[in-house]
Structure 1
Amino acid sequence: MAASAKSLSALLAQTSIDDPEEYLKAANAAIKKSKSDLEAQHTKLVALLKLDRHEDALKVLNDVPQLQERARFEHAYALYISGDAAKAVEVAAKGDDSRAMKHVLAQSAYRSEDFEQAARAYRELSEQNQAGEEADIRINSGAVDAQLEWAELGHLAHTKKPDREDLQAFETAYNAACGSVSRGELGQAEICLKRAKDLCNALTDLSDAEKQAELLPITVQQVYVLTQLGRVDEAEQLSTTIPFAEIKELSTRYVAQVNSIAASKEHSNPYLSHRLFHASPKPPITDQHFSFQSNVLRQDEYVVDLLVHKSVGVAQSTAKLIASTPAPTTSPSINTAAVINAAAHSRNMTEKAALKAILPLLEKRPTDVGLLLTITHLYLLTNNPAAATHLLESFFKRLEQSGSSSDLDVRNSPGLVATLVSLYSQQGRFSTSKTELAKAASYWRHKSKTGTSKSLMVAAGTALLDTHSPESLSAAADIFTKLHEQDSTDRAANAGLVAAYSLSTPERLSSELLDSIPQAERLVADIDAAALEAAGIPTLAPSTVTTTESRKRSAPKDISSKAKRIRKSKMPKDFDPDKKMDPERWLPMRDRSYYKPKGKKGKKKLEGLTQGGPVVEEKVTQEGKQAAAAGGGQKKGGKKKGKGGGKW
């Protein structure tokens, strides 16, 4: 083995080989003499990777297990480039601490959606400050920051807002735009995308074909941003300029074609949209979409199927997806599938009819969060917030009684808590909403060191400050202290911490903390106090005085009322427009002022109907008995009760 390795090394040293094919031939010749020659096997492995024969390289590694330990870097790279990024992370994590291995680890973690580890690896590479790699590391770090936002790990992102340096190269400007999209800052994203295009077009070291290849993904992202901004006409016009066949990455081409369907007014025919959607090319395993992209594309597919009335198929496929994950869960993909499943069962029905069709599903899936929120929304659409509140309260109570850690995580999830708090606020139950916020914040403070959603913690801390009780102020101070430790530049955390300390323990207020709050002089610098004082104190308008007389509104006297026009179809055949209509035509004839009955019976009947006029009392007997007062409907000529015979 040693002689064979020595002969191969000597052979390669005596020649000037630049072609990997020649290296492969020399390695194969040595392996033919001795299959256990690790030096030759290693040379063959490197040659195969340089020739982009990745599957063959993995076969060599599988056939020679001893080579996996010797060539750990090549093994990790072969796995990554073949599409098995998760296995590549495992191999690279056990390797040496070389810079090359860290690059492979960072890229593999990024593709396997372990963005936290990818961010950590790029941070270490950046701290080592290797000359010539600053630009590449900055570009890749920007991509990782955007993915952290999509994965709801935005607190780990290094950059929260594009700076001037990000807008100096088209790659970093594009990544800054993607980060802005993930945070919902669509206006900022549009600015960054335009900047990226301008920078790419200004490059002189790229050919026109290379520029076109770089501009296509930027244009695809622009179409999405314009669609989300509601500027569909601009998005449609821009989409028509994209040559889909020239997009080399099939994952990007697939997204581009789906976005073009969404932005096009010509595809109003759902069956045509369905055909075009399913005609888009599926990307290979080495160019797969990220999970958040796959979830959205799957939702689009379900919606397109519903539009062509494939309700049964959608209901079955979404039911399988829902059953694949234990309930309850806060997974966006599962809960969105539950919403679509409810839509499939309702079959285009709305509000009350949809509620009637969906409520039986809740009996089968009582812990389905997506279905629960769908029914809550339908209750609100039918103007029944009390039922929506009761539904969520019952769900929270069931999760609390289960005692499971995962169930309690769902019960205190920021989205569900915010939904219940908004329902309480809508009904004026502000104290209950504060209690709910404090309960959720307390749970996450004891559950996790970093807490959970920043918005939930800020809302809970603010609600606790309003109570002014010592316990609540202490809890608020604890919340804002943790937020301040995570990000000392966060204005909301600093302001909350100052407010909590000033009300409970003013001695803990440091000058550094006070300096982080904007000065009052800066906040009122553009306010003219003299002008406000000269304007005087505003008074209530007369119409706002809460008296009975002021609330009455009289008709304007100087405006003549216009006669309402009547359709010809509503007019009688003998209608005369010049003849004035009887204003009492809606009343019965006997109630009209000009009614005069004919005959003695009619006049006597009219006297009995007189309202407010004189009443003629009838004579009664000494016993005070009268037929009307007896209440028995006694007939004329009948016998009196208790007496035999005689007429009344």
Structure 2
Amino acid sequence: MSTLSISSLLQRASIDDHEEVLRSCDAALTKSKSDLQAQHLKVVALLKLDRYEDCLRVFEDGGDNLKKKAALEYGYALYKSGSPDSALDVVSGLVDDRGARHLEAQATYRAEKFFRTAELYQGLARDSSVVNEEQDLRINTWATDAQLQWKGQPEAVRHTRPTRDDLEAFETVYNAACLSIAKGEFDQAGMLLKRAKELCRTSEDLSPEDRDAELLPIAVQQLYVLICQGRSEEAKSILEEISVKDIPELSTRRIGQNNVTIARGAAANPYALYKALHEVPDSTNNDKLFDYQSNTITGNLHAVDLLVHKYDGIIRSTSKALSRAPYPSTEASTNLLSVYNVAAHAKGETGTSALKAILSAVDRRPKDLGLVLTAVQLYVNLGNTTSAITTLEKSLQLLEESISEQDKETRFNPGLLSVLIALYKREGRKIQIRIELAKAAAFWREQAAQPASLLRSAGASLLHSSVASDSAQAAELFKSLYQKTPDDLFAVAGYVASHAAIDFSQVEAQAKYLPTVDDLISDVDVVSLEAAGISPSSSTTAAAAAAIAGARKQPASGKERTVKRIRKSRLPKDYDPSKTADPERWIPIRDRSTYRPRGRKGKQRAAERTQGGPVNEKLEETTPAAQSQPQKPQGGGANSKKKKKGKR
């Protein structure tokens, strides 16, 4: 078939003619294998038929010419085949191609490069000339923000609350609910999921089959929210709506099976739980779990392996995976393997017994953060915060002394530092907190990617220091933060506070943008606070306690002290209430003022005990010599007396 006949065929073809287009292209390629247009049309038809592996084979046979002519189609085939990084290499070179930007956004989303995804969608949203894209962009940007929150990058999240337009489509509402879940706002997420379910059921754009398919993920997410809220009765009603086997995507089916199994309480029988969690096979290609989802599922699988005593299997599988993983690593998936590996070595032991096995493993792999943090957690559970700090500090010291840049970056990882600082706070080590934050800030300021949250915390801590060098470093930090984010009130406040003492004229303009004290306390109802009761400070509490103690010791003015009545059985027989008791009756007789010794020896002893009395010089001279003279050793039965005469 000639190129002209193929073009005429495409002009008459409808969207359901992909198989016919494919047959025509194959017929043309049997005559000329190098027909570039036929090859291009064939890969398009294969993409329409979701035959991505076959499409990639055509590209390999067609060579570089076909890959260059159909670069967008080649990138899409790579993306759908589960190779998002390879797809990015292809489409990133396509300039001024809106379709390539959409594909790049999808590929970066699948590769979990969500910050870049957000930038791409923001750039696409600026160009409003393209019709019928606004709703798709709104849906995708909400999904990206949810992933950024899960990934631990909340500062990059652009959405806060859904607008009126966002609440009109169930896809947008569902993604907004996912963002609320990532933030831990389960009440808000529950309301949004109910709204999404209602919109999906009443949608006129969905067929009954599509509607059922869309409702299943919403129900699975509702189940997760109810489990987190501890609302078991409502969770049971949601279980009736979920048929795990009917979920088409393997990733969603795996999550659904996990949540349904936990909600049904199969943990009572660990072997039944083990069987249920292993029923769904792993997803492949582009239908994979994201890292945070995979970590949770993997953790549950290893936990149930421990419950059924598969210790050797866990040790083998985790050891093999750890041998291929970087060391040290801050990846959650890698550190999770270390945790379950050492748990299998401990064989169900807890407390001090488990700690012995873990510390032995830490000695062998002192830079394994999963092992170190497990030991730290056990120490904290045992109430030994000092040993937890010592264990963590040893590993951090090894990382700091390393010549590897990767080790140094691990040493100042914000998450790892937050654990150390939390331990310092438990023991009130404020100076160590300031030192650690200062060192971390100095390191990260020299790096291209700087964690803003850590720099903010470091600046706030150094700002409260009375050391001049700390104040200077805080000023530099807040100046840098202010220059990067001039709209951030925290950065503005820190910049003003750190520079006001140095030269207020430098920050006088910025200080005007800060809210006044009156504005900050305008909504504070002092009367209601006093009525509700204000918790006093420790010094106030101590003063109040002293005042109460004093009030108990002395009677109130104008009132007579109540005399305590003494029972007669406790009084002496010769007790006379009209006589005043001797105030020295509790003092030994020889120490009373009325005591008079009797006899020569008694008077002599009294004179010797009298402070300031006459000194016996003869006694003073002889006593030391007597004390210093060594005693003469005596044998058994020996004495100074003469032996009595007896019969010989």
Q: TM-score, normalised by structure 2?
A: 0.78
Closer/same/farther in 2, CA of residues 396 and 58 from structure 1, 3 Å limit: closer
1:47 is matched with: 45
Within a 5 Å distance, the mapping from 1:55-454 to structure 2 comes to 55-65=53-63, 66-129=65-128, 130-448=130-448, 451-452=450-451, 454=453
Q: Which amino acid aligns with 2:304?
A: V
2:621 is matched with: none
Closer/same/farther in 2, CA of residues 248 and 349 from structure 1, 3 Å limit: same
Distance 2:400 2:377 in 1: 23
| Percentage of pairs with the same residue | 39
Q: Deviations over 1:556-583 (max 9, x none)?
A: xxxxxxxxxxxxxxxxxxxxxxxxxxxx
Q: Contact conserved, 2:52 with 2:80, CA < 8 A, in 1?
A: yes
Q: Which amino acid aligns with 1:217?
A: P
Distance 2:167 2:9 in 1: 51
Deviation at 1:486, TM superposition (A): 4.7
Distance 2:118 2:290 in 1: 17
Closer/same/farther in 2, CA of residues 370 and 30 from structure 1, 3 Å limit: closer
Distance 2:264 2:634 in 1: 83
Deviation at 1:226, TM superposition (A): 2.2
Distance 2:377 2:534 in 1: 46
CA RMSD of aligned residues (A): 3.5
Distance 1:524 1:17 in 2: 67
Q: Contact conserved, 1:8 with 1:26, CA < 8 A, in 2?
A: yes
Distance 1:551 1:93 in 2: 82
Within a 5 Å distance, the mapping from 1:530-569 to structure 2 comes to 544-545=545-546
Q: Deviations over 1:332-385 (max 9, x none)?
A: 111222222222222222221111222211111111111111112222223322
Q: Please state whether the residue corresponding to 1:321 is helix, strand or coil.
A: helix
Q: Contact conserved, 2:143 with 2:175, CA < 8 A, in 1?
A: yes
Deviation at 1:306, TM superposition (A): 0.5
2:32 is matched with: 34
Q: Which amino acid aligns with 2:40?
A: H
Distance 1:550 1:354 in 2: 54
Q: Please state whether the residue corresponding to 2:184 is helix, strand or coil.
A: coil
Deviation at 1:522, TM superposition (A): 4.6
Q: Deviations over 1:76-131 (max 9, x none)?
A: 22222233322222221223432222222221222222323322322222122212
Distance 2:547 2:437 in 1: 36
Closer/same/farther in 2, CA of residues 212 and 484 from structure 1, 3 Å limit: farther
Task: Decide which moves more: 476-485 or 540-549.
Answer: 540-549
Task: Decide which moves more: 101-110 or 227-236.
Answer: 227-236
Q: Which amino acid aligns with 1:335?
A: N
Deviation at 1:163, TM superposition (A): 4.3
Q: Please state whether the residue corresponding to 1:248 is helix, strand or coil.
A: coil
**How many residue pairs end up in the alignment?**
565
Distance 2:480 2:19 in 1: 59
Closer/same/farther in 2, CA of residues 321 and 7 from structure 1, 3 Å limit: closer
Task: Decide which moves more: 296-305 or 55-64.
Answer: 55-64
Deviation at 1:305, TM superposition (A): 0.3
Q: Which amino acid aligns with 1:434?
A: R
Q: Which amino acid aligns with 2:83?
A: D
Q: Please state whether the residue corresponding to 1:329 is helix, strand or coil.
A: coil
1:588 is matched with: none
Deviation at 1:269, TM superposition (A): 0.8
Q: Which amino acid aligns with 1:502?
A: A
Q: Please state whether the residue corresponding to 2:321 is helix, strand or coil.
A: helix
Closer/same/farther in 2, CA of residues 316 and 201 from structure 1, 3 Å limit: same
Closer/same/farther in 2, CA of residues 420 and 105 from structure 1, 3 Å limit: closer
Distance 1:540 1:95 in 2: 70
Q: Contact conserved, 2:217 with 2:252, CA < 8 A, in 1?
A: yes
Q: Please state whether the residue corresponding to 2:72 is helix, strand or coil.
A: helix
Closer/same/farther in 2, CA of residues 31 and 382 from structure 1, 3 Å limit: closer
Deviation at 1:271, TM superposition (A): 0.8
Closer/same/farther in 2, CA of residues 528 and 634 from structure 1, 3 Å limit: same
Closer/same/farther in 2, CA of residues 404 and 109 from structure 1, 3 Å limit: same
Deviation at 1:425, TM superposition (A): 2.5
Q: Contact conserved, 1:424 with 1:433, CA < 8 A, in 2?
A: yes
Distance 2:389 2:427 in 1: 10
Deviation at 1:517, TM superposition (A): 3.1
Distance 1:379 1:332 in 2: 21
Closer/same/farther in 2, CA of residues 162 and 523 from structure 1, 3 Å limit: farther
What runs of 5+ residues in structure 1 fail to find an aligned partner?
A: 553-611, 615-629
Q: Contact conserved, 2:492 with 2:510, CA < 8 A, in 1?
A: no
Q: Please state whether the residue corresponding to 1:424 is helix, strand or coil.
A: helix
Q: Contact conserved, 1:295 with 1:333, CA < 8 A, in 2?
A: yes
Task: Decide which moves more: 378-387 or 306-315.
Answer: 378-387
Q: Deviations over 1:35-89 (max 9, x none)?
A: 2222222222222322333332222211111312111122122222233322222
Q: Which amino acid aligns with 1:496?
A: G
Task: Decide which moves more: 542-551 or 275-284.
Answer: 542-551
Distance 1:632 1:194 in 2: 103
Deviation at 1:530, TM superposition (A): 12
1:457 to 455, 478, 483: 455
Closer/same/farther in 2, CA of residues 500 and 551 from structure 1, 3 Å limit: farther
Task: Decide which moves more: 59-68 or 160-169.
Answer: 160-169
